[in-house]
């Protein structure tokens, strides 16, 4: 597994030997998991601090739900939700704070408030001004694959050939970012688990993450509590599984372990404590014997 180092401003991320945990802070009333739980400045900030204490390396702040069939939120509402939280968290925690948005004006305000990563689920396709904002700020950008929009993405998603289709999309997204002046050393890719994918698509992606190695960028995976996990675990007795249930979190940890073993550098999660423990164990397994190999080679 190739290692990467991203350095910018006062921050540096070593990605490779140790998996990076990105903790989710949803400042929304309607996210599929924990929607409404942290829908105030004080609660969101306290949650972010808790994620940091429990092992998060990045905090990802979002003010617009991107769950399947969700409606878009006006930029003004999104700004009102996230900016006070970002401003307070960057004062309280030393780790990078990311803004989860596809709107350039929100990213610009978030960066001015102290955010230092942009996580764009549209890979900068939703807003033509996003690339200029990111390039000018010199911050890392997460480019994610999504088929359609959150409103439409789960309406019978289909591909000609899943892995090549997503690889082509991400290759073009990286090239576009570079043409716009974004340093490739600050680009992170995300194949978009749950964003326009069936259960089979998601499982295939996690099982074939090595296919994205040739893109030569760090890889972020976000399986946390998503519908494919709940669909697998559902049975006649359990009925519908709540995203915030213990069994959904247990399934999440299994998906995270598989993703790390297959090459994920960053995992985006709701539960930092459990995910940090999972990552530490899998990282130790992955690196076991490397010192002996170095000695005997």
- For the chain, which domains are there? 15-279 (3.20.20.20)
pLDDT over 70 percentage in the chain:
90
pLDDT at 35 over 60: no
In this structure, how many other beta carbons lie within 10 angstroms of the beta carbon of residue 90? 18
pLDDT of residue 153: 58
Q: What φ, ψ does residue 7 adopt, rounded to 5°? A: -125, 130
Write out pLDDT tens, residues 3-19.
999 999 999 999 999 99
pLDDT of residue 293: 55
Kindly report the pTM of this predicted structure.
0.92
pLDDT of residue 157: 84
3-state secondary structure 46-72: HHHHHHHHCCCCEEEEECCCCCCCCCC
Residues annotated as catalytic are 226, 268
pLDDT of residue 292: 47
Q: Is residue 182 a contact partner of residue 141, using CB atoms and an 8 Å limit?
A: yes
pLDDT of residue 154: 73
In this structure, how many other beta carbons lie within 10 angstroms of the beta carbon of residue 201? 23
Write out pLDDT tens, residues 155-172.
778 899 999 999 999 999
User: In angstroms, rounded to a whole number, what is the distance separating the alpha carbons of residues 145 and 140?
Assistant: 17
């Amino acid at each position: 597994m190739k290692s990467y180092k991203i350095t910018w401003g006062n921050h540096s991320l070593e990605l490779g030997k140790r998996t990076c945990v990105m903790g989710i802070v949803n400042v929304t009333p309607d996210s599929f998991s924990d929607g409404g739980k942290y829908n105030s400045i004080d609660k969101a900030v306290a949650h972010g601090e808790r994620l940091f204490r429990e092992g998060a390396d990045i905090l990802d702040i979002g003010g617009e739900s991107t769950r399947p069939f969700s409606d878009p939120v006006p930029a003004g509402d999104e700004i009102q939700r996230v900016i006070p939280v970002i401003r307070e968290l960057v004062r309280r925690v030393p780790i990078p704070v990311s803004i989860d948005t596809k709107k350039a004006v929100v990213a610009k305000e978030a960066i001015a408030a102290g955010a230092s990563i942009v996580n764009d689920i549209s890979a900068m396709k939703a807003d033509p001004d996003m690339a200029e904002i990111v390039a000018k700020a010199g911050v890392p950008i997460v480019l994610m694959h999504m088929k359609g929009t959150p409103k439409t993405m789960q309406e019978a998603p289909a591909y000609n050939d899943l892995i090549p289709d997503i690889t082509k999309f991400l290759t073009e997204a990286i090239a576009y970012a570079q043409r716009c002046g974004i340093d490739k050393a600050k680009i992170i890719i995300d194949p978009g688990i749950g964003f326009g994918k069936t259960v089979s698509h998601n499982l295939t992606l996690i099982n074939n993450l090595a296919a994205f190695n040739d893109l030569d960028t760090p890889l972020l995976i976000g399986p946390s509590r998503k519908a494919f996990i709940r669909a697998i675990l559902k049975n006649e007795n359990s009925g519908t599984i709540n995203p915030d249930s213990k069994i959904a979190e247990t399934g999440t940890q299994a998906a995270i372990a598989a993703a790390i073993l297959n090459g994920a550098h960053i995992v985006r999660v709701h539960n930092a404590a459990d995910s940090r423990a999972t990552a530490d164990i899998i990282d130790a397994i992955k690196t076991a014997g490397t010192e002996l190999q170095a000695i005997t080679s």
